[in-house]
Amino acid sequence: MTPRPVPALSDLSVTEFLTLSRMGFLPHGLVIGSSVYEANTSQNQQGVSLWNLLFGSGAQLPTIVTGEVVALSEAVRGARTLGIARTRAQAADLAAEGVVGVRLHVEHHVWRGGHQVAKFVAMGTAVAFDHDHGPTELRGAPSLRLANGAPFMSDLSGQDFVALLRAGYRPVTVASGTCVYQLDPQEVGRYRGYNGEIGAYTQAFFDARETAMARLQQDLFSEWPPGHPDAPIGIVGMTVSEVAHGDQRFQGPPVVEFTAVGTAVAPLSPQDPRRANTRPKPRIVVPLDR
């Protein structure tokens, strides 16, 4: 176990730092995990050679089918899992209990030779409870590390993290799910000239977002199944965002990546002194700041 590194880097704002340190949490350092991943898209490209077209059996022109690009989805998922695992390992090296304010970032590049590469970065501040620094009534607080000793991860701000603890919940991990979808550009031509829903596209977008959210749940449950001491009871602050790969505006079929991200939370142990005795009672206030 290494002691708290001093000075510890952090990307906390002043308010976050004060809120955390009042609860006895001090930053242990900025942690960054990254991974660069190459997607094997060869099974997606139907090979068309002149020979096949002229003489071969089963000659076909490449067709773009609306549907998931499984190789890309897997690449993004793999990169993300590695990046998060590295951030977690770095936080463990810093003797941290967990990471708050995790930000996830993915960039896609098509590098020379047509290699589809996903670059993934996860970044946050590692924090740990300091028994000498914290308030006296919290001295005996148990660690927030997961059952296997790994630090927790959360994309919540310092204030949100403290509010969650007071309410009797603790973050477990940053959960994410991804689905990369490709669209057939011919579809819209069938609807030229009148008002109406483009059913195939709606279905594709709807399904892609749902797949991203379903994968998030599946990955979460495969690691922490119900009954596990860290089994999450829910996900807060979930967002579903979409990014187009490359510049698809004038060439190539549209390829869109849908990503669902949120923080999985589990209940705090009942004897944890950080749990507020009464539920925080909201009051209606008029803030005087601008």
Partner 1 sequence: MSQSGPQDPGFPADLPQHARERLAEMRSKKLFTSDLSVNEFLLVKQAGFDPLGLVMGTSIYQITPSIPRIPSGQPGCELIDMTRALYHARELAMNRMEEEASVLGADGIIGVRLTVNLNTDPQRAAYEQYREWQRWARRVGYARGVTQLGAAWAASWQQIAWNQWVTWTQQNGWAPQPPPWARPRGEASYALGQNVAEFMAIGTAIRHREGDHYKNPKGKPFQSDLTGQDFWTLIRAGYRPVGFVMGNCVYYVPPELLRAPDQKSTELTAYTHALYDARELAIERLQYEAEALEATGIVGVTVSEQQHSWRAGLWNAGNAALATGELIELFVIGTAVVPMATTAAPPRPELVIAVNDSAVAAPEEGSEE
Which residues ranging from 147 to 166 are in contact with partner 1 (CB under 8 A)? 156-157, 159-161, 163-164
> Which residues between 3 and 42 bind partner 1 (CB under 8 A)?
13, 15-16
> Which residues between 266 and 285 bind partner 1 (CB under 8 A)?
279-285
- Under the criterion CB under 8 A, does residue 235 sit at the interface with partner 1? yes
Give the CA-trace dihedral at 86, 87, 93, 96, to 10 degrees. -150
Contact criterion met (CB below 8 Å) for 151 and 91: yes
Residue in the block written with tokens 């914290």: 134
CB of 180 to partner 1, least distance (A): 12
Which residues, listed in sequence order, are joined to residue 70 by a DSSP beta bridge?
none
**Binder among 240, 267, 269, 273 for partner 1 (CB under 8 A):** 240
- Beta-carbon-side half-sphere exposure of residue 138 (alpha carbons within 13 Å): 20
d(CA 235, CA 237): 7
Which residues, listed in sequence order, are joined to residue 92 by a DSSP beta bridge?
none
CB of 87 to partner 1, least distance (A): 21
- Under the criterion CB under 8 A, does residue 227 sit at the interface with partner 1? no
Q: For residue 187, what is the DSSP state?
A: G
- Under the criterion CB under 8 A, does residue 211 sit at the interface with partner 1? yes
Total of chain residues touching partner 1, rule CB under 8 A: 73
CB of 102 to partner 1, least distance (A): 15
User: Nearest-CA neighbor of 154 among 127, 135, 177?
Assistant: 127
CB of 188 to partner 1, least distance (A): 3
CB of 244 to partner 1, least distance (A): 5
**What are the CB-based long-range contacts (under 8 Å, 24+) for 224-230?**
224/172, 224/173, 224/264, 228/147, 229/147, 230/146, 230/147, 230/172, 230/266
Nearer to partner 1, 15 or 49 (CB): 15
Nearer to partner 1, 95 or 167 (CB): 167
> Which residues between 165 and 184 bind partner 1 (CB under 8 A)?
167, 183
> Which residues between 183 and 202 bind partner 1 (CB under 8 A)?
183, 185, 188-189, 191, 193-199, 201-202
Q: What is the DSSP string of 28-95?
A: EEEEEEEEEEEE--GGGS----HHHHHT-TT-------SEE-HHHHHHHHHHHHHHHHHHHHHHHHTT
- Under the criterion CB under 8 A, does residue 220 sit at the interface with partner 1? yes
**Binder among 32, 48, 206, 229 for partner 1 (CB under 8 A):** 206
Nearer to partner 1, 90 or 173 (CB): 173
CB of 234 to partner 1, least distance (A): 4
Give the CA-trace dihedral at 238, 30, 163, 230, to 10 degrees. 70
